[in-house]
């Protein structure tokens, strides 16, 4: 929920989004909780947000959702939204 970044399901964060800047270099990334063991979050204040929870696709859908099931549809959507072509470091050339 605004003003918090990420992808939310009610008051629980499903995906964290971050940006880091150092020495004139910017890096960014995201963490999508697919089948994460959510019990670890009981020991911390996730993202420093008091009173907010964390969830996963598996928890929300009530079935196991492996990263391998999500990766290709995510990459396809990313390419469509950002009008780009992704290249794997494993691709020759």
The whole-number average pLDDT for the span 7-24 is: 93
| Catalytic entry in 15, 34, 35, 47 | 47
Instruction: Specify whether the CB–CB gap between 15 and 6 falls below 8 A.
Output: yes
pLDDT per position as a tens digit, 75-91:
999 999 999 999 887 76
82 within 8 A of 42, measured Cβ to Cβ: no
Specify whether 21 is catalytic.
no
> Of all helices (H) and strands (E), which one includes residue 21?
strand 12-22
State the pLDDT at residue 92: 61
CA-atom Rg of the chain in angstroms: 16
CB 8 within 8 A of CB 55: no
User: What are the structure tokens assigned to 56, written together?
Assistant: 């996963």
19-74 pLDDT tens trace? 899 999 999 899 999 999 999 999 999 888 888 999 999 999 999 999 999 999 99
pLDDT band with cut points at 50, 70 and 90 for residue 1: low
Q: For the chain, give every domain's residue range.
A: 7-82
């Amino acid at each position: 929920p605004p003003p918090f970044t990420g992808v939310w399901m009610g008051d629980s964060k499903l995906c964290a989004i971050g940006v880091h800047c150092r020495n004139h270099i910017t890096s960014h990334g995201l963490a999508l909780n697919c089948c994460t063991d959510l019990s670890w979050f009981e020991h911390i204040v996730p993202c420093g947000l008091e009173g907010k929870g964390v969830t996963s696709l598996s928890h929300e859908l009530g079935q196991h959702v492996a990263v391998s099931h999500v990766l290709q549809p995510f990459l396809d959507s990313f390419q469509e939204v950002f009008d780009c072509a992704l290249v794997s470091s494993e691709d020759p050339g």
